[in-house]
Every structure is written in structure tokens, then in C-alpha cells.
Chains A and B, each alone.
Chain A
């Protein structure tokens, strides 16, 4: 009697060793390239985004009357892009003609250097952003009066006994410098968190792959 296709299928796989998985020869190599290329694409996209933002923010801040925020922010974004571009150039010099492990180790070192520099820069970056925002809001012109002056006048009339330093109420200067100090103190951590938010997934994969390869090398 002729066998049904169901029977052929079932019996066929029981009888032979057809289901032996092939060796994954080049997998680590493929994965290494995959991770680095993916990171490069994301890093490039990030740089393009920052440049685009630097270009947009000037007319945008002009329209909203916050040009004192727009210009320093644009300068900051240009500086960040410049640093990122320098790192990107370094990334391109990583030798691809080495083993997967060496290639990934070099990439890992590059990532660590990049994170370290970014963390250091973040110590200044976040207070700078805060300062730019304060400046932006401060110099908004409302019916010929500067918003900051209005605010100070309102504050002084509300708290007439407050001490002034160079015309600024000390009760405002203290929280202002406190925020600057906190941002400077936690800037590095915020920077790392920021990087992790964007590249966390890929960096975890890199870590997994490297530890796996190290284990295999033992």
C-alpha cells in the first residue's frame, strides 16, 4: 500500500540522522561585523540628528524670542558633533583583518573610551544646557520688557527684605547654583544613562558576545 505523505515524513526522520545541526563556523565573525556595523549606523544617525537639531534650533529660537538659548545650544550641538565625528573617524581605523575577538575587543575599547570622554563632557554639558535655557527664558521680550527683569522686579516686591548680589536676589541665586552643582555632579551619570538609553541594547549584546568568546578562548 502506498504510504501517505504524513507517514513518509514521520518515518523518514525517525530512520536517519538527517537532523544533525550543521556547525556554525562563521557565526562569531558575522556577529562581530553585525554588531559594529549596527552601532556605526546608529552612531551616524545620532550625529545627523544632532546636526539637524543644531540647524533647526537657531531659526526656531529666533521665532520664539529665545535666541540667547538657541545660539549657545547650536554651538553646543556643533561641538558635540565635532567630538562624535572625531570618534567616528577613530572607529573607521579599527583593523577588520584581525580575528573576531581582536576586532570586537578593539571596538569594545573604543566604546569605553567614547563613554569615558562623553561622561567627562557631560559634567559641563548639562549645566551648560541649563544655563542656556535660563538665558533663553530670561531674555524673552514681552511688550518691550525683558522677562528676567520682570521676574526680578516681581520677586523683589514680593520679598523686599531679600539680599541682592549684583542686583540678583540671593534666594534665586542659591537654587540656581544648586541646580548647576547637581547637574555638574550627576552629569557623568546622566551622560552614561543617555548613552545606555540609545545604545544599551547593542552594548549588552557586545558584552555577551565578548564574554562568550573569552570563555571559548580559555
Chain B
């Protein structure tokens, strides 16, 4: 990857990647791996970007896909390694934010299903229903209902 490409095309959108990777990882080590893999995938796939969507939307989509794929791989590995069969809640997140409410929110998000995590992250990033539907690959009607349901679930988790 050209350092120029990283500086101009990825770094300005690093916040997106960081926010998404954090929602799908439990440790700093995993987070760095996911972040690196997303950057690598952006570089690998940059030629396939057809400008049919904004670069940022494309990065959202790609980051989510990488995280979901990585998570799937990790789950498969866990199945093959019985000693690693710890429930997710037991894993300690070593990356505390300065804001405690944000820590709690992230912790709640991590308890959602993989797709719901993506949906809520995009919603919190103020993406339109249409954009969320495009990124997730569903229709707009489903998104509204889904977001309402996810928000209720998050409120419930946070109040507990």
C-alpha cells in the first residue's frame, strides 16, 4: 500500500473503521488485527470501487464485511479449540474509552447480533435508511423497524 494512499484515502476515514472494528472485537489485539485487515482489504479492492456510492459508504460496507468475515473465522476457530470456549461476556475489553457511557454503549452493542451491530453503527453515524439498506443489503422498510427494535434492546441492556 502506498503510504500516500493510506494517508489520503484511508486515514481521513479511519474513524469509521475504528468505530466499526471496536464493535466487533473484544481485545485491543483483535481490534488492531481487524483494523489492519480492513486497511489491507481497502487497498486490495480499491480498483473495484466504481464510484456508484461515496468513498465513505464503500469503506463502511467493506469494513463491515471484513469484520463479519473475521468474526466468522474466529467463531470457527473457537469451535475447533475447546479451551477457548469462553462466553463473550467473560472476555474483558482492555480498551476503555474516557467516556464511561460510551463504554457501556459499546458493551451493549457488542451483545447484539452481528448484523444488528452493523445497522446500529450506521444509524448512529447518521446514515440514511437508504444508505444503511444499501450497505447491509436489505430494503429500506426493514431498516426502520429493525432500528426501533435494536434501540429498544440497547435501552434494555443499558438499564440493566
Contact = CB atoms under 8 A, between A and B. Distances in A.
Interface in A5-42: 5-6, 8-9, 11-13, 15-22, 24-27, 30-31, 34
A9 B2 CA distance: 33
A129 B17 CA distance: 52
B102 A31 contact: no
Given A21-B14, A27-B39, A16 B101 contact: no
A22 B35 contact: yes
B102 to A, nearest CB: 3
Binding site secondary structure of chain B: helix
Q: How large is the interface on A (under 10, 10 to 19, 20 to 34, 35 or more residues)?
A: 20 to 34
A12 B99 contact: yes
A209 B151 CA distance: 44
B71 interface: no
Given A5-B155, A31-B40, A22 B98 contact: no
A194 interface: no
Given A30-B40, A216-B3, A12 B31 contact: no
Interface of B: 1-4, 6, 11, 14-15, 17-19, 22, 31-32, 35-36, 39-40, 43-44, 47, 97-99, 101-102, 104-105, 124, 151, 154-155, 158
Interface of A: 3, 5-6, 8-9, 11-13, 15-22, 24-27, 30-31, 34, 201, 208-209, 211-212, 215-216
Sorted nearest first, the 3 A-B pairs with minimum C-beta distance are: A12-B102, A16-B98, A21-B14
23 contacts: A5-B105, A5-B151, A8-B99, A8-B101, A8-B102, A12-B97, A13-B15, A15-B98, A16-B97, A18-B18, A19-B14, A19-B19, A21-B11, A21-B35, A24-B39, A26-B36, A27-B1, A27-B39, A30-B36, A30-B40, A209-B1, A212-B1, A212-B3
